[in-house]
Amino acid sequence: MAGAYQETPIGYVQAGIELDSLPTDLHHPAVTAYCQKMLLRHASTRERLPFLSEFYRQTLASIAPVHSVLDLACGLNPLAIAHLPLAAGAPYAACDIYSDLAGYLNQFFAHFSIPGTASICDLAAAIPDQSVHLALLLKTIPCLEQLDKTIGPRLLKAIRADHILVSFPARSLGGHAKGMPRTYEAHFRQLMEGLPFTVQRFEFPTELAFLLSRT
């Protein structure tokens, strides 16, 4: 299921060698080009790439600057860090089920001296309990629900964040819309019943996002 988003192997060893030869300034054009190339290798970030800057600008405008991030089931999304409106020195914790991904992301954070850590997690078994300003739960609920139908509200209740940016795909991996935004929105509203959040809604070409803020 997790592998559906990685049609071809990411190639972490080669990616790590290329990373080592890059300048250490995250905003250097060679680094921007490298991050874009890598973001294309995971279907989830590939779909977001055409509107990546707009995605974070719009969804996080009301809470910028962000003081700490927990990126759950992160995929390669930490490579989009330059697009997030972060406060200087904001810690970035990321986790995913793949250990080679976590290793590569730790190399990425170290190379650019980002105060970041990547770890392995299985959100179906345990939810990280650190407190943060912003948690990201991007396009992950439908994935986890294939294994456990009760995980959505459990996750949203357990995440210790002032704000949670949750998103759903608005297209299938094959590119078809099939009424997905309407279906996911109805599903999301159900998941949210009784939870103590205010909700802002954002629609992008392939992604429907909600910023939840604790009331």
Ligand X SMILES: C[S@@+](CC[C@H](N)C(=O)[O-])C[C@H]1O[C@@H](n2cnc3c(N)ncnc32)[C@H](O)[C@@H]1O
139 binds ligand X (CB under 6 A): yes
149 burial (CB, 10 Å; 0-12 / 13-18 / 19+) is: exposed
The separation between CA 91 and the C-alpha centre of its own chain, rounded to angstroms, equals 15
Cα–Cα dist 81/114, whole Å: 10
- Give me the least distance between CB of 73 and ligand X, in Å please: 3
159 binds ligand X (CB under 6 A): no
Q: State the residue number with the nearest CB to ligand X.
A: 75
195 binds ligand X (CB under 6 A): no
Cα–Cα dist 12/57, whole Å: 29
Stretch that binds ligand X, among 19-27, 96-104, 106-114, 179-187 (CB under 6 A): 96-104
122 binds ligand X (CB under 6 A): yes
- Give me the least distance between CB of 66 and ligand X, in Å please: 16
Catalogue the E-assigned strands of 85-206.
92-96, 116-120, 132-138, 161-169, 197-204
Residues 6+ apart with CB under 8 A from 39: 45, 46, 48, 49, 52, 76, 79, 80
98 binds ligand X (CB under 6 A): yes
Nearer to ligand X, 31 or 144 (CB): 144
206 binds ligand X (CB under 6 A): no
94 binds ligand X (CB under 6 A): no
Cα–Cα dist 168/57, whole Å: 18
Residues lying near ligand X in the complex (CB under 6 A) are found at 2, 5, 44-45, 73-75, 77, 96-98, 121-124, 138-140, 143-144
